[in-house]
Amino acid sequence: MGSALQHPVTTKESEDGSCVEKGLFWGACSMQGWRISMEDAHFAIPSLEGEGWQGTALFGVLDGHGGDLVARFCETRLPQEIAKGPCSDPKHSLTEAFHRMDEMLGEPSGLAELERLALIGTNGQTPHSRSLYGSDPSWIGCTAVVCCVRPDVIVVANAGDSRAILCREGQAVPMSDDHKPNMPVERARISKAGGTVERQQVGPIVQYRINGNLNLSRSIGDLQYKQNTFAGPEDQMICATPDVLTFEREPRDEFMVLACDGIWDVLANQDVVDFIRERLPRYTDSSCTEPLSRILEELLDACISPNLALTAGLGGDNMTAVLVVFNRGAADPDDEAQFSEKPAQEHEAVEPKQASASSARPQPCEGPSGGPPNYDLDSAVVVPTGLFCGCTR
């Protein structure tokens, strides 16, 4: 999981916002935790600035590795590039924007921006404390999960192991799948590009890493893994190509959550839904003055490890989450007709099966020779739910 502090930094950065016309209310929260620096970034944009995009709200979580520079670069540049594409074809616009991030990072202007970001610093960090790789995007990258919210649909683009879920009438609906090196499709691409997938085990934790390094198979940045000039961006050893899924919105939809793997390593999808849903009524009551992000602050406190040695490193990562609540009462009454009249065949996916790898309730693997269980972070198996906070179902 990388270098760790002697004591976690539990100070949180939280923000809240709303777009009453769209019936959207959101909160976001980030915490450095046990890591020596904070490498996450996120964005919440009520209305994209681009031709035809004004009716689209955009939310994203970016989980950096090797430093925070690529995540911070994408925090600003990714929404801008999405809005340059055709609003009538969000899948194309999202995919091209993800690919464009890699192109920009390799251009002189992009490198200059990374250097500028490195000099600015963030969260009290100095350039020397943030990254061993300076501002070189060859070895710095980030995952990205992005949700475009429209009156009738939610379009989700994901590259990496951050994740988005939807709460539909109390049930967790996975909106993305984690990209891990041991997945058959990912392993085939990695091998074809000349890479290897190595199994590593530290204590009870099992991970699969590309060439012994990264434990994810898609990301923005990490340009050292994208040097095959005879292959397209989607065929590189590590690629930035997102999976893009479209979900019909329904009146039963209550909220969605975007978060980095630091949270999903500890809690399963349904556990996060249950945690938030139990607390949500008191924060959405008209008399409540507490911000929505307070729920996420509680969630991050529930996920952080009390002792990394006791939890085998789980709960020791940076943590960032964005919660978006759908207020049907505040939405345009004409939206009801849009929900019901929009033909499902216009969209690529209405709802993935509940048996998705990202939605499975984690269970421990049987240990060797009847020994203690192992926890495979690169499959549905992660860690017994509620390990740190006592959350059970």
pLDDT at 142: 97
What does the pLDDT average to over 267-275?
98
The segment with the largest mean pLDDT, out of 36-50, 328-342, 366-380, is 36-50
Above pLDDT 90, what percent of the chain?
Answer: 73
Average pLDDT for 250-272: 97
> What confidence tier does 2 reach under pLDDT thresholds 50, 70, 90?
low
201 compared with 56, residue with greater pLDDT: 56
**Does 391 score more than 60 pLDDT?**
no
Residue 127, classified by CB atoms within 10 Å of its CB into exposed (0-12), middle (13-18) or buried (19+), is middle
Cross-strand partners of 35 = 4
Whether residue 128 has pLDDT greater than 70: no
Q: Structure tokens of 373? A: 């269980």
- Does 311 have pLDDT greater than 70? yes
Average pLDDT over residues 263-268: 96
Q: Model confidence at 125, in pLDDT bands (50, 70, 90)? A: low
pLDDT given at position 3: 76
pLDDT at 283 over 50: yes
Percentage with pLDDT > 70 across the chain: 79
The answer to whether the beta carbons of residues 253 and 336 sit under 8 Å apart is no
User: Which of 213-227, 252-266, 369-383 shows the lowest per-residue confidence on average (mean pLDDT)?
Assistant: 369-383
Long-range contacts of 369-377 (CB under 8 A, 24+ apart): 372/204, 373/204, 374/201, 374/204, 374/205, 374/206, 375/204, 375/205, 375/206, 375/312, 375/314, 376/206, 376/207, 377/205, 377/206, 377/207, 377/215, 377/265
pLDDT at 379: 42
202 or 116, greater pLDDT? 116
β-bridge partners, 355:
none
Contact 54, 44 (CB under 8 A): no
- Read off the pLDDT of each residue in 71-78 and give the average, rounded to a whole number: 98
pTM of the model: 0.85
Q: Looking at per-residue confidence, does 272 or 118 come out higher?
A: 272
Q: What is the pLDDT of residues 344-387, one digit of tens each?
A: 333 334 333 333 444 443 334 444 444 444 445 554 333 334 44
Is the pLDDT confidence value at 72 over 60? yes
Q: What average pLDDT does range 2-23 have in this prediction?
A: 92
Report the alpha-carbon angle 92-245-94, nearest 5: 30
> What residues contact 118, with CB distance under 8 A and at least 6 apart?
69, 127, 130, 131, 134, 135
Mean pLDDT to the nearest integer, 82-97: 98
Whole-angstrom Cα distance, residue 195 to residue 370?
33
The burial of 5, by beta-carbon neighbours within 10 Å (0-12 exposed, 13-18 middle, 19 or more buried), is given as middle
* Average pLDDT value over all residues in the chain: 84
For domain 18-376, give its CATH number from 3.30.750.24, 3.60.40.10, 3.50.50.60, 3.40.50.150. Answer: 3.60.40.10
